[in-house]
Amino acid sequence: MKRFKDNQWNLPHFIFIGIIIGIWGVTVYLTRHYLHAHFPENIFEASSMCDSHSFFSCDAAAYDRFSNIWGVPLGFFGFFIGALFSVFLIVRNDSFERTLKFIALVNGIGCFLLMLYSVIIIHSLCPFCTMYYALSWSLLFMFYKYSDLPWMCDIRTCALIGVILISAALGMKAYVHQKEKRLEFISQEMGDAFAKLPEFGEPGIKGIPLTIQENRKIRLDIFSDFQCPFCKLFAEKMRPIIREYRNDVEIYYYYYPLDQECNRNITRPFHNVACRAAYLSYCAGDRFEEMHDYIYENQESLSVKWINEVAEKKGLLACMQEPKVQELVKQHILEGERLVVEGTPSFFLNGKKLSPGMTTMQIKALIESLLGK
């Protein structure tokens, strides 16, 4: 009867080690990403290398309701599995190998179901999650090919593993709870400071809605410029906020291009294609958010030629030249003037002007405070 433990210091053994190391690396990243997504400390933690495409996104997975079990991120359980299989490099007996075969099978099936859920329900796929799935299936194949032991869980071994897993999960739960308590403390501080801010009022016209909710308790108005590098950073910072509070907060985007072509307050050449970029995004219609992100992703390439090429490809050239489109951008600018917008980005929460330099955690804590959570 073949046993995987008999493959020592040969190619399958080293492949097994490589898979374990890969699982460690991926699950450490996924666990950290979950914590940064829910309890971010600064602007740079608001986005990740996973957000390069609307379909391939780790944030979508991190904010999903099944991203954790009892508050413990799924990535942590993946790391535990990697640690468990690494013990097999030292402890080699039949009962442990049978149990690991069973765990590898359950884990592999779970990965398949999670991938189906991501594609069908979330309509998104996390690249690092996918890497974990591939590594898990590779692990399963290794046991299938090199071990003839039955796929069954040894009761004693499973009980011991269960106790260790529950203990480790409780430790992780306590750590997450500390993060939650810190967020509550910051939330109270931010709420007290917010109450003392002067009231500017809300824009008289509605901007481009980034959420479908109306008449919410909280309204967020953002004035931005597609050629402004700080606006790009701010957009990256706001992306997870918009995603997490999409059902709780009204969020509107307003154009405030620092371009003399459409902004009378700009008296010298500055962001010379910002107005045209605004026209392009507005003409995208229902796909505004997608175009918004696309323009910022290509900010360094912005030019009349680039905008015209994108507009022609999307069939938006005629729309961009319509007077009503250009007039709408000017109306946004006039609203910005009324609210004393002096630069970009500028944003208002329930009519109160906030600093765009606020960290993601501060903005999130303030929203939590106003929601009464």
Distance CA 9, CA 11 (A): 7
Residue type, 290: E
Q: Is the peptide bond before 345 cis (omega within 30 degrees of 0)?
A: yes
Convert the pLDDT of each residue in 108-152 to its tens digit. Answer: 999 999 999 988 877 778 889 999 999 999 999 998 888 888 888
Q: Can you give the pLDDT at residue 2?
A: 62
Convert the pLDDT of each residue in 144-183 to its tens digit. Answer: 888 888 888 888 889 999 999 999 999 999 998 888 777 6
Residues 18 and 104 in one domain: yes
What's the whole-number mean pLDDT along residues 247-268? 92
Distance CA 108, CA 250 (A): 41
Confidence of residue 47 (pLDDT cuts 50, 70, 90): very low
Residues 163 and 262 in one domain: no
Confidence of residue 194 (pLDDT cuts 50, 70, 90): confident
What's the whole-number mean pLDDT along residues 105-109? 95
Q: Identify which of 32-41, 188-197, 332-341 has the greatest average pLDDT.
A: 332-341
- The residue among 161, 177, 193 that closes a domain is 177
Residues 290 and 167 in one domain: no
Element (H, E) at 347: strand 346-349
Position 309 pLDDT exceeds 80: yes
Residues 84 and 37 in one domain: yes
Identify the residue with better confidence: 303 or 153: 303
Residues 222 and 98 in one domain: no
- Residue 290 belongs to domain with CATH number: 3.40.30.10
pTM of this prediction exceeds 0.95:
no
Distance CA 101, CA 250 (A): 50
| DSSP 3-state of 70 | coil
| DSSP 3-state of 74 | helix
Residues 140 and 281 in one domain: no
Residues 223 and 135 in one domain: no
Position 53 pLDDT exceeds 60: no
Q: How many domains does the chain have?
A: 2
Domain membership of residue 182 (yes or no) is no
Domain membership of residue 152 (yes or no) is yes
- Residue 125 belongs to domain with CATH number: 1.20.1440
Average pLDDT, the chain: 86
Give the domain range for residue 296.
208-371
